[in-house]
């Protein structure tokens, strides 16, 4: 094992250990926030795999997040499936949708890819509204507390919900750390840096990009399904363009192409909005100014700037 690999392992397992410790150190309010943050960080990690490592900017990831969410929610509410099977349904739906979107959207490149993914996401949102008799449209629906039991554990309590979110986060966090250091992940980075040269070396870049879209969409769908299960709500808000922009902001703030960046970005933006809203009703103005300043003075994101200036080994 190289020195950089050792540092990387310490970073990832140390982050998980810190999150375990924070449960015992923080007050209940912040513990509840961290549960939500960890699930949203999984969503951001899925987006980061496609944008940060592959160089494909999707503006339609809310479609995958909402697909997983509605797949689980409707499987439980409409068809009465237990949460374990419903979670599988949500992820399978996300896999199918991301495969279809990947096959179609990857016929385009650059700005066209952004627009196509945005259009698909908007079509998904309008579909949710059109079938409002099943999806409850903008109003959404609640998953009853009595149904939110996973593997025999009631995950509606503060402790069980936190550790369920932590287990999910840890699995995806370590999976991403493995993927980006594997030959597959290094090929994605090569595609991001110079796709034509990667083709000349004999790599099937279309296949790699399609796999990246499917894995990214599946992780985002898993995050959506987990969010619905842990917090008990499914609504069309999560299918809007806003929830396609959020992961982009989280990744840019935390550091695109870094494994820790998505978590840092979600924590930063979550508490920036939370603290700003306590000061004024124009909290988005404060948040916007801070985001602009960060973009100007830390263009590679917080983790990206730390890697550039201090720790070159940061994955």
Per-residue pLDDT tens digits for 29-49: 999 999 999 999 999 999 999
Q: What distance in Å separates the CA atoms of residue 265 and residue 81, rounded to the nearest whole number? A: 35
Q: What is residue 69's predicted lDDT score, i.e. its pLDDT?
A: 96
Average pLDDT over residues 171-194: 94
Angle, helices 83-105/61-77, rounded to nearest 10 degrees: 150
* CA–CA dist 124, 146 (Å, integer): 29
Which residues sit opposite 149 in a β-bridge? 154
Q: Which residue has the tokens 């592959």?
A: 54
Which pLDDT belongs to residue 289?
A: 86
pLDDT, mean of residues 162-177: 96
Residues 6+ apart with CB under 8 A from 99: 210, 213, 214, 217
Looking at residues 270-283, what average pLDDT do you find? 84
The helix or strand, by DSSP H or E, that contains position 156, with its residue range, turns out to be none
What pLDDT does residue 315 have?
77
Candidates 273, 274, 268, 276; CA nearest to 294 is 268
Start-end of H helices in 232-260? 242-254
Rounded CA-CA distance 180/53 in Å is 8
Round the CA-based radius of gyration of the chain to a whole number and report it.
Answer: 19
Q: Interior CA angle at 158 toward 152 and 37, to 5°?
A: 105
Query: Three-state DSSP class for 120?
Result: helix
* Residue 302: half-sphere exposure toward Cβ, Cα within 13 Å: 18
Query: Which residue do the tokens 């015992």 mark?
Result: 24
Report the share of the chain in percent with pLDDT over 90: 74
Q: Judging by beta carbons within 10 Å of its beta carbon (0-12, 13-18, 19+), is residue 36 exposed, middle or buried? A: middle
Alpha helices (H) in 144-259, listed in sequence order: 158-181, 183-193, 195-200, 205-231, 242-254
Q: Percentage of the chain surpassing pLDDT 70?
A: 100
Please say if the pLDDT value at position 65 is more than 80: yes
Looking at residue 1, its pLDDT comes to: 62
Instruction: Give the mean pLDDT of 49-69.
Output: 95
Contact yes or no for 280/286 (Cβ under 8 A) = yes
Over residues 226-242, mean pLDDT: 94
Structural contact between residues 141 and 73, judged by C-beta atoms closer than 8 angstroms? yes
Task: Report the mean per-residue pLDDT for the chain.
Answer: 92
Q: Which residues contact 285 (CB under 8 A, 6 or more apart)?
A: none
pLDDT band at 6 (very low <50, low <70, confident <90, very high): confident
So what's the pLDDT on residue 27? 94
The stretch 177-185 carries a mean pLDDT of 93
Res. 14 pLDDT band, cuts 50 70 90:
very high
Confidence grade of residue 304 (pLDDT, cut at 50, 70, 90): confident
């Amino acid at each position: 094992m190289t020195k950089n690999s050792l540092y990387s392992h310490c970073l990832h397992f140390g982050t998980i250990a810190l999150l375990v410790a924070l449960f015992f150190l923080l007050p209940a309010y912040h513990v509840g926030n961290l549960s939500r943050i960890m699930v949203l960080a999984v969503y951001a990690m899925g987006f980061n795999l496609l944008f940060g490592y592959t160089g494909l900017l999707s503006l339609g990831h809310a479609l995958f997040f909402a697909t997983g969410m509605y797949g689980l929610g409707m499987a439980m509410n409409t068809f009465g499936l237990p949460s374990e099977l419903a979670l599988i349904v949500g992820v399978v739906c996300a896999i199918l949708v991301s495969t279809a979107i990947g096959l179609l959207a990857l016929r385009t490149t650059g700005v066209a890819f952004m627009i196509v993914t945005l259009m698909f996401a908007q079509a998904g949102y309008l579909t949710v509204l059109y079938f409002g008799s099943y999806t409850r449209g903008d109003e959404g629906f609640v998953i009853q507390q009595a149904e939110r039991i996973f593997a025999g554990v009631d995950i509606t309590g503060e402790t069980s919900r936190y550790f369920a979110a932590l287990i999910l986060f840890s699995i995806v966090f370590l999976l991403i750390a493995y993927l980006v250091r594997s030959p597959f992940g290094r090929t994605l980075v090569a595609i991001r840096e110079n796709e034509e040269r990667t083709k000349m070396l004999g790599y099937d870049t279309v296949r790699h990009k399609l796999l990246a879209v499917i894995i990214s969409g599946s992780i985002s769908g898993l995050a959506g399904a987990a969010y619905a299960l842990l917090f008990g709500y499914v609504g069309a808000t999560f299918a809007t363009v806003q929830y396609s922009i959020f992961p982009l902001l989280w990744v840019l703030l935390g550091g695109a192409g870094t494994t820790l960046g998505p978590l840092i970005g979600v924590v930063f933006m979550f508490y920036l909005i939370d603290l700003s809203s306590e000061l004024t009703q124009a909290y988005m103005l404060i948040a916007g100014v801070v985001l602009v300043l960060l973009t100007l003075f830390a263009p590679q994101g917080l983790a990206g700037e730390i890697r550039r200036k201090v720790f070159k080994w940061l994955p």
